[in-house]
Each structure stands twice: as structure tokens, then as C-alpha cells.
């Protein structure tokens, strides 16, 4: 049995522990998932400005907007993008639905657009179809500058008709003009042809022959790609592989006559349209559905410092992989976040969106509050940009809100104004104010907003 004094000592410790206040832990605020970000109102204004330019230019060139679901059947991308691509192997967000159905969050948009084109009979309408889109896509890759797990794309596709090289040139032209309109500097079109299926098969044999002699000089990814996707070895960014890439055979030297003729046609149309370009004989795309023309539009000087803003190419057999006959198609997509980051550096004025002139409606007292709704409706029917917060009670709080929203004018409506059938107009910049009858309020406000 413990001694009496020891019992007292232990009891005191227990009391102290019981009375001790729990350590305060700051509640952690839940954050958006890694690589995905919120777009706040200020950011939305800048994006809407960008989308306005997209809409104006694309529709001027005859493109019609289309939207497809964010979720698609997994099979759509394994069939079209390619089972051995990085996107399918490790970057797709998959969702297992009821009945074992596997859905994915779209990692790119072209396959979805072609699926929609076939599903809804657009191939039975006049050809080709000129389609454009604005929307998010998702890839589980390492987030870095200009590269996110949820990212927005602006894209354009010309689907159907003949595989005429003029359509390749048109797609390049429209994105070049868009970047010019946005005042992006140092724009360069890098272009190549990867030929047809037979061309690529013959070229892959030569490429593998070259790489077999250098397996100890290349990275692990390229060793793996020798078996799965040899063309992607040319796109490797690892410095270890650079020397081997530079010595590799060039696909342009291995094109069939029809592929050469097509590529020559694309370049001639670009020349006629005064679109400057450089040949990039080692340019390939990371998606299996491309054939013939592939291209990227860069900004920056010097190949090592160039950043791709737009990428695309021709895909004449994508529809065939979805069970239909081969259908000519060519398109491209622009990374919205990348373009905005470039504009922030090159053209800061683009991110400065002029705030629209607005009017803050302030009420004083319950009677004025009661009469405010029909008055606000009258002002809005006159197309006046009204901001209000009828939940606030004090005039000072409401005028403080007016200042925070950069309102041009404040309308002050109190019990006295209700009885006298008028309202006070205050200039938020100068502080001057005048009383106007409710009959003349619309005319008076419009005059002051000019």
C-alpha cells in the first residue's frame, strides 16, 4: 500500500492534469488538391478577357463551339491516345462506376470531340466541321510552372472532308493569329511530318537500330520506350540523351511520296499566309493518333528557352479506331495557364482589367429597406450596374462596402427620402452629393456615369 503522503502527491498531480487546459491546435483549413487551383474573381476577369479574344477570332474564322463531358469511358483514351503512352499508363484519373464500368476524367479533348462528332451524326452534315472548345482536362503528373493536374485548354478541330494540307495550315494560322492578338512576343511555329503508318514503321526500325548501339548512353525512360513507344525517345528532355537524339536518323528523310507531297503543301500554304516557321525534324507528339503533320507554337528565343503554348497535328485514323471509317482530321490545343503566365511577364497590361463603373445602393432604416426591392428592380431594368447589401444596417458599413467595391456612385435611400419620394446620389470619389427625385433617378445616374 502506498504511503499517505504519496497518495496526496499523486492526487494533486491528477487534479492539475484535469484542470490543465488542452493544448490549442489551430484548425487546418482544407486546401485544393495538389496541382489543382481555385480561380478567384480577379483571375476570372482576366480569363474571360482571354476567352473573349478566343471567341471573337475562332468564330470570325467560322468555328463553332462544342462542349463534351469531363468524364469519358476509359476505353476512349486507351484506344486513341495509346496504351503505351505516359497519359494512359500513369496520368489518367480513373473512376470505377457501378457494374465495373471504368470512367476517366478526360486527359485531353481531341478524342472526346471526335467521339461526339461521330455519336451525334456531325459526319452526316456538311464537311468539314469546324469546331472549337474551352474546358478543363486532368493529368496526374508532377505540378510545375505552367503544368498542372487540372489545366484549361482552348482547342480547335477541323474534322471531315478531305485530308487537304490547307486545313493543317488553317489550324496553325488561327492559333498564330490568336497569339498575335494577345500580344505574345517571339512566336515561332515548329513543324514536322511523321508520315503515314508505313512510314513510321520503317522509320522506327532505323531508329531502334541507332539506339541499340547507345543503350548505355540513354536514360531509363528511353530504354523502356525502345520497347513501348520508340518515337517518344526523340522527345526526351533528359540531357543524357541529347547527343544520341542529335545523331538519330531524321523521319523527313524516310517519308513516302504522298507524305512528302502533303507536307510540302502545308509549308506552301504557310508561306502564302506569311506564317513564319522552322522545321523541327525531331518533333513528335505524345499521342498515338497523330499522322503526317505535327507542330508546336513556341514563345522565346533559342531552342532551350522556348516554351510550347500550342501543340497539335493531323489525325486521319482516330475515327477508325473508334469503329468508323477513316475520317480526315486536324487540330490543336493551347494551354490557358501557360499563356496567362507568359502574358503576365510579356504583357502585364493584359492582366489589368478595367473595373466597370458601378453603383452601390445603401438604405437607412426598415421602411427604406422595405421599399428598396422594387426600386432596385427599376434600376436594374434600366440596365444600371447596381450593387447592394440589404442585410447590412448601418450606413457607414454600407458606404465602406461601396469603397471596397470601387463603386463610382452611391445611392442613399432613407426614411426621409421614402416620404419625399427622392434619393441621394453621392460621388464616391469627391464626396459631393445631390438629391434627385425618384422619377428622374435613372436619367440622372446615367448622366453621371458617362
Q: Is 68 labelled as part of a ligand binding site?
A: no
Q: Is 341 labelled as part of a ligand binding site?
A: no
Q: Strand 307-314 and strand 277-279: pairing?
A: unpaired
Alpha-carbon separation of residue 149 from 93, 106, 142, 184 (angstroms): 10, 11, 8, 24
Q: Is 439 labelled as part of a ligand binding site?
A: no
What letters, b where the CB count within 10 A reaches 16 and e where it falls short, cover 344-358? eeeeeebeeeeeeeb
CA angle 389, 390, 392 (to 5 degrees): 80
Cα dihedral 104, 315, 250, 82 sign: positive
Q: Is 132 labelled as part of a ligand binding site?
A: no
Residues contacting 47, CB < 8 A, separation 6+: 39, 152, 336, 340
Residues contacting 72, CB < 8 A, separation 6+: 103, 104, 106, 111, 112, 115
Q: Is 176 labelled as part of a ligand binding site?
A: no
Query: Is there a contact between 175 and 295 (Cβ–Cβ < 8 Å)?
Result: no
Question: Grid coordinates in use for 8?
Answer: 496526496
Q: How many CA atoms lie within 13 A of 82 on its CB side?
A: 16
Distance CA 83, CA 251 (A): 23
Q: Is 285 labelled as part of a ligand binding site?
A: yes
Query: Is there a contact between 405 and 426 (Cβ–Cβ < 8 Å)?
Result: no
Q: Is 157 labelled as part of a ligand binding site?
A: yes
Residues contacting 262, CB < 8 A, separation 6+: 163, 165, 193, 292, 293
Alpha-carbon separation of residue 440 from 422, 425, 431, 437, 450 (angstroms): 9, 12, 21, 6, 16
Query: Is there a contact between 34 and 147 (Cβ–Cβ < 8 Å)?
Result: no
Nearest of 162, 174, 198 to residue 329 by alpha carbon: 162
Question: Grid coordinates in use for 20?
Answer: 490543465
Distance CA 73, CA 71 (A): 7
Q: Is 400 labelled as part of a ligand binding site?
A: no
Q: Is 139 labelled as part of a ligand binding site?
A: yes
Question: Given the C-alpha cell 428598396, which residue does it identify?
Answer: 372
Residues annotated in a binding site for L-histidine: 108-110, 139, 153, 157, 285, 289-290
Residues annotated in a binding site: 108-110, 139, 153, 157, 285, 289-290
Amino acid at each position: 500500500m502506498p504511503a499517505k503522503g504519496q497518495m496526496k502527491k499523486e492526487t494533486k498531480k491528477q487534479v492539475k492534469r484535469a484542470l490543465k487546459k488542452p493544448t490549442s491546435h489551430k484548425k487546418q483549413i482544407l486546401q485544393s488538391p495538389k496541382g489543382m487551383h481555385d480561380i478567384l474573381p480577379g483571375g476570372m476577369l482576366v480569363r474571360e478577357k482571354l476567352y473573349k479574344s478566343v471567341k471573337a477570332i475562332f468564330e470570325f474564322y467560322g468555328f463553332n463551339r462544342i462542349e463534351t463531358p469531363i468524364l469519358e469511358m476509359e476505353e476512349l483514351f486507351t484506344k486513341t491516345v495509346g496504351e503505351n503512352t505516359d497519359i494512359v499508363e500513369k496520368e489518367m484519373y480513373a473512376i470505377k462506376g457501378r457494374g465495373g464500368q471504368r470512367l476517366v476524367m478526360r486527359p485531353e479533348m481531341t478524342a472526346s470531340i471526335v467521339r461526339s462528332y461521330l455519336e451525334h451524326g456531325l459526319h452526316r452534315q456538311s464537311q468539314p466541321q469546324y469546331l472549337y472548345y474551352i474546358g478543363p482536362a486532368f493529368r496526374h503528373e508532377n505540378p510545375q510552372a505552367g503544368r498542372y493536374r487540372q489545366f484549361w485548354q482552348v482547342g480547335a478541330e477541323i474534322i471531315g472532308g478531305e485530308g487537304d494540307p490547307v486545313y493543317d495550315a488553317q489550324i496553325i494560322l488561327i492559333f498564330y493569329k490568336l497569339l498575335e492578338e494577345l500580344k505574345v512576343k517571339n512566336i515561332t511555329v515548329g513543324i514536322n511530318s511523321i508520315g503515314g503508318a508505313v512510314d513510321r514503321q520503317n522509320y522506327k526500325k532505323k531508329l531502334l537500330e541507332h539506339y541499340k548501339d547507345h543503350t548505355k548512353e540513354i536514360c531509363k525512360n528511353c530504354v523502356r520506350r525502345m520497347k513501348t513507344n520508340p518515337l517518344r525517345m526523340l522527345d526526351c528532355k533528359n540531357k543524357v540523351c541529347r547527343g544520341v537524339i542529335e545523331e538519330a536518323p531524321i523521319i523527313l528523310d524516310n517519308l513516302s511520296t504522298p507524305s512528302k507531297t502533303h507536307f510540302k503543301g502545308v509549308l506552301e500554304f504557310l508561306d502564302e499566309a506569311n506564317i513564319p516557321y522552322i522545321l523541327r525534324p525531331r518533333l513528335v507528339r505524345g499521342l498515338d493518333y497523330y499522322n503526317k503533320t505535327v507542330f508546336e507554337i513556341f514563345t522565346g528565343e533559342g531552342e532551350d528557352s522556348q516554351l510550347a503554348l500550342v501543340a497539335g497535328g493531323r489525325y486521319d485514323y482516330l475515327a477508325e479506331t473508334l469503329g468508323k471509317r477513316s475520317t480526315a482530321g486536324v487540330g490543336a490545343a493551347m494551354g490557358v495557364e501557360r499563356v496567362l503566365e507568359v502574358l503576365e511577364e510579356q504583357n502585364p497590361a493584359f492582366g489589368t482589367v478595367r473595373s466597370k463603373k458601378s453603383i452601390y445602393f445603401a438604405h437607412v432604416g426598415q421602411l427604406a429597406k422595405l421599399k428598396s426591392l422594387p426600386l432596385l428592380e427599376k434600376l436594374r431594368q434600366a440596365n444600371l450596374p447596381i450593387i447592394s447589401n440589404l442585410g447590412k444596417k448601418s450606413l457607414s458599413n454600407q458606404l465602406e462596402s461601396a469603397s471596397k467595391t470601387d463603386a463610382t456612385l452611391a445611392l442613399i435611400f432613407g426614411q426621409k427620402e421614402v416620404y419625399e419620394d427622392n434619393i441621394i446620389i453621392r460621388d464616391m470619389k469627391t464626396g459631393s452629393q445631390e438629391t434627385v427625385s425618384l422619377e428622374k433617378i435613372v436619367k440622372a445616374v446615367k448622366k453621371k456615369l458617362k
